[in-house]
């Protein structure tokens, strides 16, 4: 790849969505819906086309030369040996993969939104925000300088705020958007501190430089552990991991395409990408890695349990996302970077699929989202049902669907790699999560699409229009086949994917031996099937009330899970209320009495002074003459005193 | 000589008080005439003979006659009681203070040398009046009028001409101001 | 000859006349009387000038005093013309009433 063509590719990849955003936003209201529809979707398609070109040139590059950095311009230069920041971008396998996922899945989602938002008047604003989001995300993954990455990071948070709160007349939407943004800001803060620490130690924020000089950090030392921990906190905020996870379910207030794009395929995966990208630092901080792995698995478990108890179709899928991302975080936490990225890729496809299919259902039932009001939709929405089934099979990790390949690959590493003295402890939990995933995925499928229709709306439901159906169908097919040519969970068999990424993100975890890998594969597969089978048994065949679980579980746990383990309430009491109380005090006490008092006091003094001064102007000649006389005397005395000194 | 001067000075002071205190304008005018006359005497005793004449003719003569005419024309019996408010306090205070100050300043001798003005205390060793210890010199030797005229038409020619212009302007102005405007 | 010792008293008299005139300006309400007090002040200045001229052996004091007299005369003429006009249009001759200069 020559630098010239890569610069052009880069500018096009970034420029198309940005242009689409500007055109939709500025000209959209005037030029109408059709223009906006085309502008919004074609821009992403064009970006995808250039991304394919980029991918082909990355794949075709000779070994060892698959990374190219492009600098658009120098931004800040503090001299040699000091910080220098440029508009740097990197085109390598990792960024190429992310760009393909973002623009590819993004394009399908944009096409879908043409249909989903057809009755919404804010369509121009919608596509403007969506394109801007894609642009920000691309900026983030293409960045080769931590500063640029942080800019993309913050812009993504902004775009998500705009999109979650798209229906801004709804108070709940606005609150959800605010919550998401505030949580993101906490992560931003952590990342900026990490950037400061990096600069303090090695005076550079350019990622190639950081990675080349990673040896300057003591392995396992406090500094690098702190930096990685802070970066991980940023990743957790973006990827909705515990304890910064509370914003994701609320974010379902946004339109379904937004949930598909942001909360399934792209934004929440930024955290995984970050850790994978910064692997040279993470490899030197095993404590931080362990923390990441534990948080990932823990979140995955918690989210799985909650998902099992939710009754809003989008919330179930949202918690499912949280859980799957948890698995990815776990993967990059144990050093299996390629495995995590593989799961990221397949997950992007089947999760977007699930969201869009759910969108079809919601649209067909005229904005009904409670699964207790659904049922029996399989006969009425055949294609959507099949696609949803495909996505659920992939999600649960049923053999030969894409999710099976990626999840078993990931778990395979867990048998030998992991934090602490017993590395496979977390693997056991991961197997349990497989069961859970099967359970909630098929619970959802069964309750929504099978059984008796629970409300009248179901009888009137019709299959979605073509523009909403075709993307879903495409994703449904991809959810089955996308992993076939890429990777097989047994080492030394098919490993196209990990080779592809290996030049940039070498896996630092130990690979399990062939025998162990086969055993793990079987265990994982059995677990998924058990979960799926149990779900089928409970909800398809026996069909109890959908909100009920198997009666064995204690009621407290069920209620707690339904209430998301009360984390929102805890945060509200511990953080939100005190802050609001402080703000209220400031508004009621500090500002009126202290500040306004001071300012008012000054004003009153000046006013009083002016009023007194005005008393001088009586208009009487004699008064003025008296003043002259007094002043003259004073001047004479002063002069006499001064002169005779 | 000194005695006459002292008497003239005293009469000046007394009649000036009369100007201010008199209830009727006409009495004030008459007091002023006396004041001006006594001042003329003082001028005479200070070797300013030309000024003595001018003061009598112009000031105590023409100007005061004009004043008396206008008073008689406008409101001859008008009474004007001075208002005893804070203005009076300032006025009287100012009188006392300034008189004392001037006297003290003059008596202590503000002397002038190359380095500027200097103040001296009462009873200091230096002669506080050394600035004024020249003998009366040639200024008055050849007659006052001649000396003054000499200066007036040579060194001070320009101010002289300008003041004559000023007189002209004043006369025209007065005529203009008092004409009965045609309605 | 006049004694040099009297010089401070002459200055004191000039100061006295000046302040008495100023007091009159401040106290009296009849504009004519106020005018006369102004004349008194001018004369005080004249006295100071002449006194200094005498004791510094300079005739400039007298010349200057002459100029002052001329100017005072001109000023009296114009001022009295103004006062006459005020009387003619019917306003009271009271400077408190003639105070149009407020705000």
Task: Indicate the pLDDT class of residue A458, thresholds 50, 70 and 90.
Answer: confident
Residue A274 pLDDT: 93
Is the pLDDT at C36 greater than 90? The verdict is: yes
Backbone angles phi, psi at A32, to 5 degrees: 95, 175
B101 CB near a chain A CB, below 8 Å?
yes
Chain centroid, CA B145 distance in Å: 19
C-alpha–C-alpha distance, residues B4 and A418, integer Å = 127
Under 8 Å CB-to-CB from A99, ≥6 apart: which residues? A13, A51, A54, A55, A138, A141, A142
Q: What is the pLDDT of residues B43-80, one digit of tens each?
A: 988 888 899 999 999 999 999 999 999 998 887 666 66
Residue B115 pLDDT: 56
Residue A223 pLDDT: 85
Instruction: Give the pairing type, strands A84-91 and B116-118.
Output: unpaired
Q: What is the pLDDT of residues A315-347, one digit of tens each?
A: 999 999 999 999 999 999 888 888 889 999 999
Q: Could you tell me which chains touch chain B, where touching means 3 or more CB pairs under 8 A?
A: A, C
Could you tell me the CA-to-CA distances from A424 to A282, A336, A409, A508, B156 in Å, in that order?
A: 20, 14, 15, 16, 119
DSSP structure string for B64-132: HHHHHHHHHHH-TT-B-PPP-SHHHHHHHHHHHHHHHHHHHHHHH--EEETTEEE---TT-SS-TTGGG
Kindly determine whether residue B19 and residue C36, on different chains, have CB atoms separated by under 8 Å. yes
N-term to C-term CA, chain C: 56
Backbone angles phi, psi at A87, to 5 degrees: -80, 80
Task: Indicate the pLDDT class of residue B116, thresholds 50, 70 and 90.
Answer: low
Q: Which of C26, C96, C103 sits opposite A626 (nearest CB)?
A: C26
Is the pLDDT at C101 greater than 70? The verdict is: no
| Most confident of the ranges A49-63, A244-258, A536-550, A587-601 | A244-258
Tokens at A496, concatenated: 């196209």
Of A293-302, A359-368, A458-467, B96-105, minimum mean pLDDT range = B96-105
B1-82, CATH topology level: 1.20.120
Chain centroid, CA A434 distance in Å: 23
Residue A38 zone, left/alpha/beta (φ > 0; ψ -120 to 50; rest): alpha
Residue B124 pLDDT: 45
Q: What is the pLDDT of residues B84-106, one digit of tens each?
A: 677 777 777 877 877 777 776 66
Residue B158 pLDDT: 94
Task: Indicate the pLDDT class of residue A66, thresholds 50, 70 and 90.
Answer: low
Task: Indicate the pLDDT class of residue A63, thresholds 50, 70 and 90.
Answer: low
Is the pLDDT at A137 greater than 60? The verdict is: yes
- Give the closest-approach CA distance of C74 to chain A in angstroms: 22
* Residue A418 near residue A407, CB atoms below 8 Å: no
Q: What is the mean pLDDT of residues A36-52?
A: 89
Q: Half-sphere exposure (CA, 13 Å, Cβ side) for A431? A: 18
Q: What is the mean pLDDT of residues A387-411?
A: 89
- pTM for this prediction: 0.68
Give A629's contacts in chain B (Cβ within 8 Å): 90-91, 94
Kindly determine whether residue A625 and residue C25, on different chains, have CB atoms separated by under 8 Å. yes
Of A89-93, A389-393, A500-504, minimum mean pLDDT range = A500-504
- Cβ-based burial of A27 (10 A; exposed 0-12, middle 13-18, buried ≥19): middle
Kindly determine whether residue B156 and residue C63, on different chains, have CB atoms separated by under 8 Å. yes
* Mutate which: A627, A633, A645, vs B, most B CBs within 10 A: A633
Q: Which of C1, C3, C60 sits opposite B151 (nearest CB)?
A: C60
Is the pLDDT at A609 greater than 80? The verdict is: yes
B138 CB near a chain A CB, below 8 Å?
no
Residue A203 zone, left/alpha/beta (φ > 0; ψ -120 to 50; rest): left
Could you tell me which of B30, A408, A508, B134 has the C-alpha nearest to residue C1? B134
Kindly determine whether residue A644 and residue B90, on different chains, have CB atoms separated by under 8 Å. no
Q: What is the mean pLDDT of residues A126-145?
A: 92
Kindly determine whether residue A629 and residue C22, on different chains, have CB atoms separated by under 8 Å. yes
Residue A268 pLDDT: 86
Total residues belonging to chain B: 183
Could you tell me the CA-to-CA distances from A632 to A120, A627, A638, A641 in Å, in that order?
A: 81, 8, 10, 14
Kindly determine whether residue B87 and residue A626, on different chains, have CB atoms separated by under 8 Å. yes
Of A155-159, A524-528, A549-553, minimum mean pLDDT range = A549-553
- Give the closest-approach CA distance of B109 to chain C in angstroms: 9
B9 CB near a chain C CB, below 8 Å?
yes
B151 CB near a chain C CB, below 8 Å?
yes
Q: Provide the ipTM.
A: 0.90
Is the pLDDT at A412 greater than 70? The verdict is: yes
Kindly determine whether residue C96 and residue A629, on different chains, have CB atoms separated by under 8 Å. no
Kindly determine whether residue B90 and residue A626, on different chains, have CB atoms separated by under 8 Å. yes
B117 CB near a chain A CB, below 8 Å?
yes
Look at the alpha carbons of A105, A108, A114, A120 in this order and tell me if their dihedral is positive or negative. negative
Is the pLDDT at A231 greater than 70? The verdict is: yes
Total residues belonging to chain C: 103
Give C103's contacts in chain A (Cβ within 8 Å): 617, 619
C7-91, CATH topology level: Helix Hairpins (1.10.287)
Q: For the CA atoms of chain C, what is the radius of gyration?
A: 17
Is the pLDDT at A4 greater than 70? The verdict is: no
Give me the total of CB pairs closer than 8 Å, taking one residue from chain A and one from chain C.
30
Kindly determine whether residue A644 and residue B94, on different chains, have CB atoms separated by under 8 Å. no
Residue B108 pLDDT: 62
C-alpha–C-alpha distance, residues A237 and A565, integer Å = 19
Give C22's contacts in chain A (Cβ within 8 Å): 629
Is the pLDDT at A485 greater than 90? The verdict is: no
Residue A639 pLDDT: 81
Task: Indicate the pLDDT class of residue B14, thresholds 50, 70 and 90.
Answer: very high
How many secondary structure helices (H) and strands (E) does chain B include? 7, 2
Of A267-281, A358-372, A627-641, minimum mean pLDDT range = A627-641
Kindly determine whether residue A626 and residue B105, on different chains, have CB atoms separated by under 8 Å. no
C-alpha–C-alpha distance, residues A441 and A426, integer Å = 22
Task: Parse chain C into domains and list their residue ranges.
Answer: 7-91
Is the pLDDT at A168 greater than 70? The verdict is: yes
Q: Which of residues 608-627 of A touch C (CB under 8 A)?
A: 617-622, 624-626
Residue B122 pLDDT: 40
Q: Is the peptide bond before A243 cis (omega within 30 degrees of 0)?
A: yes
Q: Which of C11, C22, C54 sits opposite B106 (nearest CB)?
A: C11
C-alpha–C-alpha distance, residues A420 and A403, integer Å = 28
Percentage, residues of chain B above pLDDT 90: 38
Q: What is the pLDDT of residues A248-286, one digit of tens each?
A: 988 898 899 999 998 888 888 899 999 999 988 888 888
Percentage, residues of chain B above pLDDT 70: 70
DSSP structure string for B17-35: HHHHH-SBHHHHHHHHHHH
Q: What is the mean pLDDT of residues A41-57?
A: 88
Residue A366 zone, left/alpha/beta (φ > 0; ψ -120 to 50; rest): left
Task: Parse chain B into domains and list their residue ranges.
Answer: 1-82, 85-133, 141-183
Residue A353 pLDDT: 93
């Amino acid at each position: 790849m020559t630098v010239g063509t890569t610069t052009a590719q880069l500018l096009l990849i970034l420029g198309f969505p940005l242009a689409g955003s500007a055109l939709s936003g500025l000209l959209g209201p005037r030029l109408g819906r059709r223009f906006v529809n085309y502008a919004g979707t074609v821009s992403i398609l064009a970006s995808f086309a250039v991304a394919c070109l980029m991918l082909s040139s990355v794949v075709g590059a000779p070994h060892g030369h698959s990374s190219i950095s492009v600098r658009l311009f120098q931004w800040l230069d503090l001299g040699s040996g000091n910080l220098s920041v440029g508009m740097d971008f990197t085109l390598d396998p990792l960024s190429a993969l992310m760009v393909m996922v973002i623009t590819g899945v993004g394009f399908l989602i944009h096409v879908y939104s043409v249909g989903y938002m057809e009755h919404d008047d804010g369509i121009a604003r919608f596509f403007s925000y969506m394109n801007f989001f894609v642009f920000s995300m691309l900026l983030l993954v293409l960045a080769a300088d931590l500063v640029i990455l942080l800019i993309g990071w913050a812009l993504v948070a902004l775009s998500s705020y705009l999109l979650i709160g798209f229906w801004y007349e709804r108070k709940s939407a606005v609150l959800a958007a605010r919550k998401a943004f505030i949580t993101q800001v906490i992560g931003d803060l952590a990342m900026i501190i990490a950037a400061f620490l990096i600069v303090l130690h090695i005076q550079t924020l350019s990622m190639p430089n950081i990675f080349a000089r990673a040896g300057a950090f003591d392995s396992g030392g406090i500094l690098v552990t702190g930096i990685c921990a802070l970066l991980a906190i940023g990743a957790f905020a973006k990827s909705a991991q515990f304890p910064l996870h509370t914003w994701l379910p609320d974010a379902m207030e946004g339109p379904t395409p937004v949930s598909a794009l942001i909360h399934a395929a792209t934004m929440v995966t930024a955290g995984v990408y970050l850790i994978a990208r910064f692997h040279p630092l993470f490899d030197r901080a095993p404590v931080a890695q362990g923390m990441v792995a534990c948080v990932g698995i823990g979140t995955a478990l918690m989210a799985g349990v909650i998902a099992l108890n939710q009754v809003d179709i989008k919330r179930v899928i949202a918690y499912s996302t949280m859980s799957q991302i948890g698995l990815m975080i776990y993967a990059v936490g144990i050093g299996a970077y390629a495995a995590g990225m593989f799961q990221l890729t397949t997950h992007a496809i089947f999760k977007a699929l699930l969201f869009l299919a759910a969108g079809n259902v919601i649209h067909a039932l005229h904005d009904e989202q409670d699964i207790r009001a659904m049922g029996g939709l399989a006969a009425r929405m055949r294609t959507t049902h099949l696609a949803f089934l495909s996505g659920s099979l992939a999600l649960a990790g049923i053999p030969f669907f894409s999710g099976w390949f990626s999840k078993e690959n990931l778990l395979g590493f867990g048998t030998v790699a992991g934090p602490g003295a017993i590395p496979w402890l977390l693997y056991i939990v991961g197997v349990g999560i497989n069961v859970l995933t099967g359970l909630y995925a098929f619970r959802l499928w069964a309750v929504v699409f099978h059984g008796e229709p629970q409300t009248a709306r179901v009888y009137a439901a019709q299959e979605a229009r073509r523009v909403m159906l075709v993307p879903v169908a495409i994703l449904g097919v991809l959810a089955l086949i996308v992993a076939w040519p890429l990777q097989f969970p047994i080492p030394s068999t098919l490993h196209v994917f990990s080779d592809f990424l290996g030049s940039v993100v070498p896996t630092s975890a130990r690979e399990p031996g062939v025998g162990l890998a086969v055993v793990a594969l079987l265990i994982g597969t059995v677990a998924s099937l058990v979960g799926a089978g149990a779900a089928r048994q409970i909800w398809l065949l026996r069909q109890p009330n959908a909100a009920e679980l198997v009666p064995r579980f204690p009621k407290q746990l069920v209620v707690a899970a339904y209430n998301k383990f009360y984390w929102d309430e805890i945060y509200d009491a511990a953080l939100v209320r005190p802050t609001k109380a402080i703000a209220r005090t400031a508004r009621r006490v500090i500002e009126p009495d202290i500040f306004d008092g001071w300012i008012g006091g000054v004003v009153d003094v000046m006013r009083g002074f002016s009023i007194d001064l005005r008393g001088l102007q009586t208009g009487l000649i004699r008064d003025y003459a008296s003043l002259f006389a007094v002043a003259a005397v004073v001047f004479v005395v002063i002069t006499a005193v001064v002169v005779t000194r | 000589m000194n005695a006459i001067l002292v008497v003239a000075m005293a009469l000046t002071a007394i009649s000036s008080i009369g100007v201010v205190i008199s209830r009727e304008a006409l009495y004030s005018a008459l007091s002023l005439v006396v004041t001006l006359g006594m001042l003329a005497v003082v001028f005479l005793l200070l070797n300013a003979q030309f000024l003595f004449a001018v003061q009598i003719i112009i000031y105590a003569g023409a100007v005061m006659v004009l004043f008396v005419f206008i008073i008689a024309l406008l409101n001859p019996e008008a009474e004007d009681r001075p208002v005893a408010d804070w203005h009076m306090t300032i006025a009287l205070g100012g009188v006392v203070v300034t008189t004392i100050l001037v006297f003290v300043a003059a008596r202590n001798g503000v002397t002038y040398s190359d380095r500027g003005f200097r103040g001296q205390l009462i009873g200091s060793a230096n002669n506080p009046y050394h600035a004024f210890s020249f003998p009366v010199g040639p200024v008055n030797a050849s007659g006052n009028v001649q000396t003054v005229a000499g200066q007036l038409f040579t060194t001070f020619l320009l101010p002289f001409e300008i003041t004559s212009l000023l007189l002209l302007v004043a006369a025209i102005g007065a005529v203009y101001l008092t004409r009965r405007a045609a309605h | 000859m006049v004694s040099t010792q009297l010089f401070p008293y002459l200055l004191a008299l000039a100061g006295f006349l000046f302040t008495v005139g100023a007091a009159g300006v401040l106290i009296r309400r009849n504009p004519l009387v106020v005018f006369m007090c102004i004349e008194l002040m001018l004369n005080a200045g004249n006295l100071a000038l002449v006194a200094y001229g005498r004791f510094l052996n300079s005739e400039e004091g007298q010349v200057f005093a002459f100029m002052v007299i001329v100017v005072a005369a001109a000023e009296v003429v114009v001022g009295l013309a103004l006062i006459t006009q005020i009387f003619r249009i019917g306003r009271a001759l009271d400077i408190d009433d003639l105070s149009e200069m407020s705000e």
